[in-house]
Amino acid sequence: MKSCSGILSLLLCALLFVVPAVAEQTEGEQLYQSCAACHGPQAQGIPALKSPALAGLNADYITRQLIHFKTRIRGNNDDPFAAQMLQSVKVLADEQAIKQVADYLATLDVPKIEPSLEGDAKRGQNLYNGSCGACHGASGQGNPALHAPRLANQHTDYLVRQLRAFKQGKRGTEQADKYGRQMAMMATSLNIEKDIPDILSYLQTRQEN
């Protein structure tokens, strides 16, 4: 009987630690439902709505971008799709709610994206390694330590649009957006019409299944 009692006590203690984590994840999932209409039920993104995939992105990166939208560091520079987020993010009351959503999204499997660009993937690999890989990882997997998001398993039209935004001064111009300003500087070295199709063709080959 003492042995059974000891096992029961251990199980009860374990539940005390597990239940709060489950409740927090459930809260994040519930909060995400207001985002699912645009970003998809599994956060896979919806190209027709110009919305990126969010599933599997690093939680710190998602948190930072949502805070930037909420504080208008991002979304004020003549970018209509970013401007939509200025309204959408209002449903997240505070930074705790933002973090709960970000933590939930980080637990989701990255989506498989159908290739939509044809380019020279070999040339793209060389360009990517020379300009992007040091921060975003050799396979576009992202690097949380450098605050660089995943680029693989992302819709190519979204990536093209963001690179244009960086290059045209529609993103990464605010003083408070340190990492955005770094990307804006890097984007100036890329030719959108010539280089980007090849780089993204390479990234299409680096998706996680």
Residue 38 among known ligand-binding residues: yes
Structure confidence by residue, pLDDT tens digits, 104-151: 999 999 999 988 888 899 999 999 999 999 999 999 999 999 999 999
Q: Report which of residues 6 and 152 the model is more confident about.
A: 152
Predicted local confidence at residue 202, as pLDDT: 95
DSSP letter string, 83-152: HHHHHHGGGS-SHHHHHHHHHHHHHSPPPPPPP-----HHHHHHHHHHHTHHHH-TTS--BGGGTBPP-T
User: What confidence category does residue 9 fall into, taking pLDDT thresholds of 50, 70 and 90?
Assistant: low
Per residue in 139-171, is it b (16+ CB within 10 Å) or e — as a string?
bbbbbeeeebbbbbbbbbbbbbbbbebbbeebb
Predicted local confidence at residue 15, as pLDDT: 44
Q: Report which of residues 138 and 208 the model is more confident about.
A: 138
Residue 13 among known ligand-binding residues: no
User: What confidence category does residue 16 fall into, taking pLDDT thresholds of 50, 70 and 90?
Assistant: very low
Sort residue 29 into left (φ over 0), alpha (ψ -120 to 50) or beta.
Answer: alpha
Predicted local confidence at residue 78, as pLDDT: 77
Residue 39 among known ligand-binding residues: yes
Q: Above 70 in pLDDT, residue 3?
A: no
Predicted local confidence at residue 7, as pLDDT: 52
Q: Above 60 in pLDDT, residue 53?
A: yes
Predicted local confidence at residue 76, as pLDDT: 79
Rounded average pLDDT over 183-199? 91
Average pLDDT, the chain: 88
Residue 147 among known ligand-binding residues: no
User: What confidence category does residue 197 fall into, taking pLDDT thresholds of 50, 70 and 90?
Assistant: very high
Structure confidence by residue, pLDDT tens digits, 74-87: 987 777 888 899 99
Residue 155 among known ligand-binding residues: no
Q: Above 90 in pLDDT, residue 66?
A: yes
Predicted local confidence at residue 5, as pLDDT: 54
Residue 4 among known ligand-binding residues: no
Which residues are CB-contacts of 100 (< 8 A; sequence separation ≥ 6)?
Answer: 24, 27, 28, 31
